[in-house]
Amino acid sequence: MCRDPFCDARIRHIDHITRYSDGALTTYINGRGECERGNLVREMPGWRIKLLDCGFHGGPHAIMITTPIGHYYRSRGPGHIMTTKIITITALGQSRQSMSGMSSRASR
Ligand SMILES: [Zn+2]
């Protein structure tokens, strides 16, 4: 679901929290899922988005969205999908790899 407050539209764009044009990198931490409308509105003058929590220290990924008239909203991500690669060495010396997924979800 879109990270904008009060919007439950499906994610269509991955937005840079700090804009790529401002020198930010394309990273997991600097990204947020947005509906198309939300991503286009964000590009209008006066909108600001700030990272509050990268989400790697126990809490969910969190951002602060400030509108052109100064209202601000906190938006929290749904949690991480953590994947661990497990390598098993067999008796014959062959390795097998498997992926183990674990996901956690937090409220918005
Ligand atoms: Zn939206």
Q: Which residues surround ligand 1, an ion (CB under 5 A)?
A: 2, 4, 7, 9, 35, 38
pTM of the predicted protein model: 0.68
CA angle at 84 for the pair 80 and 88, rounded to the nearest 5°: 170
Please tell me the distance from the alpha carbon of residue 62 to that of residue 107, in angstroms, as a whole number. 11
State the amino acid at position 7 in one-letter form. Answer: C
The reported pLDDT for the residue numbered 65 is: 95
The reported pLDDT for the residue numbered 88 is: 54
Answer left, alpha or beta for residue 37, where phi above 0 means left and psi between -120 and 50 means alpha.
alpha
Tens-level pLDDT at each residue, the chain (108 residues): 999 989 999 999 999 999 999 999 999 899 999 999 999 999 999 999 999 999 888 888 999 999 999 999 999 987 655 555 555 555 655 555 544 444 444 444
The pair of structure tokens assigned to 99 is 């992926």
Query: What is the distance in A from the centroid of ligand 1 to the CA of 27?
Result: 21
Query: What is the distance in A from the centroid of ligand 1 to the CA of 84?
Result: 31
Query: What is the distance in A from the centroid of ligand 1 to the CA of 24?
Result: 22
Query: What is the distance in A from the centroid of ligand 1 to the CA of 34?
Result: 6
